[in-house]
Structure 1
């Protein structure tokens, strides 16, 4: 089956090349789509030189970037991950084999199980735990890492999903729909140490994601 990787970026010139190289090494013939949200560095040039399809998305939003890239994806299977080299590329091929053999629809990578203080701080752990608990309370969905940003799924499965957020809450929404529509499993990964400037605003984005869960529950 054909595979497409979709990577949202903003100012990732120090890491995007390594991410693309890792994906190309892990999966032969993989299509790589980089959705760049107006980087001011050389992210787009490096990605294009490595053979990625580069799409410029001027509208900000984590979910918006993914939706833009997923519309262009040609692969039967989709790999989604960040461009900051915190998610491991060498695990992609084994994950693809799992989703083929185990007849699951969606794999979400779990950063919490193998976390350390170096790659995942106590503050992030507490925040993620609160969001995990809230998702379980409101939607009866139990996940170790509801905020993970690395997933593998079938494109046709994604196309069944509705009303996904345009912001950071896209990560929550896609997992909720995955559980409701099919079979989701989590696979522990070793999360890397970020070397580029974080795009996540810990307190603001954390509260927004929490608020989003309550609004989503009320609207349903």
Structure 2
């Protein structure tokens, strides 16, 4: 069996976790040869998020130091799978698409796969101000890092665990999302971006658009000028762009 760790950071998401866990297609993953574990990182919740996650069969990692990046560091450190998949605990990301994403990862020998939410069919799931901010940050990120990623802020990734073990990712907050993508592509790993369905959030919105956007902008420039030793790769960095056409209909 191939091994998969699904890492989900969670801050006060007890009401959303039952739907999130129910959306993970464990039976289909098993049929396709994947032994899957779910690692929920309780990032200092006060609503019993950790207890709910345990009752639903997840392994819970406590990370009291608040922050998106801090949560993922703890989750990745605890993950045992050779492949790691991520997504938020707010019902926005399509965990039911994991079998398809994993097939693409394997069939095309991708090392780091990220996803693009900024497509027409998802416009109603995101506030116009958040969509604009995502487009602006993604455009700046593409210009600085030359990786052609359309959505630098997406929180759903599927990647080989060794990629994380070899990256220098420093962000503790929301900018972790863009930094891990830019670090992986700059290091030379074979990468691919796939469009996905993005859904309306359940519960309270925790994103502070101005604060997080400003910090993400600062981090982009700090990261761009950081000295990073590239990882030698025996094959070209990018997977053929034609792969994306398989996902024109999501």
Q: TM-score range by the shorter chain?
A: over 0.9
Distance in structure 2 (CA, Å) of the matches to 1:171 and 1:79: 13
Distance in structure 1 (CA, Å) of the matches to 2:169 and 2:193: 23
Name the SS of the counterpart of 1:90 in structure 2.
Answer: helix
**Equivalent residues of 2:111, 2:163 under 8 A apart:** yes
Partner residue in 1 for 2:219:
212
Match of 1:172 among 152, 172, 178: 178
Equivalences, count = 220
**Equivalent residues of 2:9, 2:40 under 8 A apart:** yes
Partner residue in 2 for 1:27:
29
Q: Deviations over 1:98-130 (max 9, x none)?
A: 101111111111100244442022211211111
* Residues 142 and 171 of structure 1, relative CA distance in 2, 3 Å threshold: same
**Equivalent residues of 1:113, 1:144 under 8 A apart:** no
RMSD between aligned alpha carbons?
Answer: 1.4
Partner residue in 2 for 1:126:
132
Distance in structure 2 (CA, Å) of the matches to 1:45 and 1:190: 29
Partner residue in 1 for 2:98:
92
Gaps of 5+ in 2: 228-250
Q: Deviations over 1:136-187 (max 9, x none)?
A: 2222222110000000000012111113311111111110122123111111
TM-score (normalizing by structure 2): 0.84
Partner residue in 2 for 1:6:
7
Partner residue in 2 for 1:186:
193
Distance in structure 2 (CA, Å) of the matches to 1:77 and 1:218: 30
TM-score (normalizing by structure 1): 0.95
Larger displacement relative to structure 2 (21-30 or 207-216): 21-30
What is the 5 A alignment of 1:40-59?
40-59=46-65
Shift of 1:75: 0.3
Shift of 1:11: 0.8
**Equivalent residues of 2:112, 2:159 under 8 A apart:** yes
Shift of 1:95: 0.4
* Residues 163 and 195 of structure 1, relative CA distance in 2, 3 Å threshold: closer
Gaps of 5+ in 1: none
